[in-house]
Amino acid sequence: MPGHDLVKATSPRIQRWKCVCAYDGTGFAGWQSQVRADSVQDAIERRLAQIFGQPVRIHGSGRTDSGVHARGQVFHFDAAWPHGPGKLLAAFRMGLPPAIQIRSARPVAADFHSRFQATGKLYEYRIQLGAAEPFDRLYCWQVFRALDVAAMQAAAAVLRGRHDFRAFTALNGTEREDTVRHLRRLEVRRRGRTLRIIAEADGFIYKMVRSLVGALVSVGEGKVTPAQMRAILAGRERPAVVQTAPPQGLFLVKVSYP
């Protein structure tokens, strides 16, 4: 029928969209969709369902744990959107929770994948030496013990490079994930009473960043020496001194692509 052909000809085609989002993870059960808890992915998919009038699945660059924040999480989805990126961003803004912001949206090639094509991730962890201001406490780890920052920096130098980081993850013995990663950057920077730990790698294993931070704090407390970090790496078994830093100090800053 001519009318039917006209509708087909003018219907927008399915397009893959790459989006970068920021979120305050305080009130969410992490990034990944949950059955009985609200996640960042759930909130974004609810808004997309409202925009498009049907379910739309998004695919993130990776998970962040409950309470972890992001400035540059990346996700993609497929949908027929007849307008430009600006109107899509405006549609997102009208219905998302204020704790989530879509920072950019653009059409990409149909074979783009936010997770499998990522070449690296950059995280930042914040530590406050002593009590934090009330409006900062949800975005840092308050440490009330003196820390030897120079020792932490020496330990970070030992950990940088390509290693098997199984001792610095929360994986159990039955999981077969490859635990070799290239830790390109691990820096400890101090400004006043604030420590910033910068971690960049070709990829991170489950709770690896928080484990690295916890281990560095143990070094700062004098519980382990920088030289002992090499033995911990080689041992591939997680010792008690590798504590898991609390989630609220961690920020996913950037995901890199070719």
Q: For residues 91 and 53, what is the distance between their CA atoms, to the nearest angstrom?
A: 13
Radius of gyration of the chain (CA): 21
Give the residue among 204, 193, 209 at the shortest CA–CA distance from 156.
209
Query: How far is 190 from 211, CA to CA, in rounded Å?
Result: 19
Q: For residues 38 and 155, what is the distance between their CA atoms, to the nearest angstrom?
A: 37
β-pairing verdict for 100-108 and 120-129: unpaired
Residue 105 pairs in a beta bridge with 19
Contact assessment for residue 236 and residue 127, using Cβ atoms and an 8 Å cutoff: no
In 3D space, the residue among 153, 140, 173, 130 whose CA is nearest the CA of residue 68 turns out to be 140
Residue 65 annotated to the active site:
yes
- 219: helix, strand or coil: helix
Write out the DSSP string of 126-183: EEEESPPPTTTGGGSEEE-S---HHHHHHHHHHH-EEEE-GGGS---TT-----EEEE
> CA end-to-end span of the chain, whole Å?
46
Q: What distance in Å separates the CA atoms of residue 119 and residue 202, rounded to the nearest whole number?
A: 6
- Selecting among 65, 111, 136, 148, the annotated active-site residue is 65
CB atoms within 10 A of CB 5: 9
* Residues designated as active site: 65
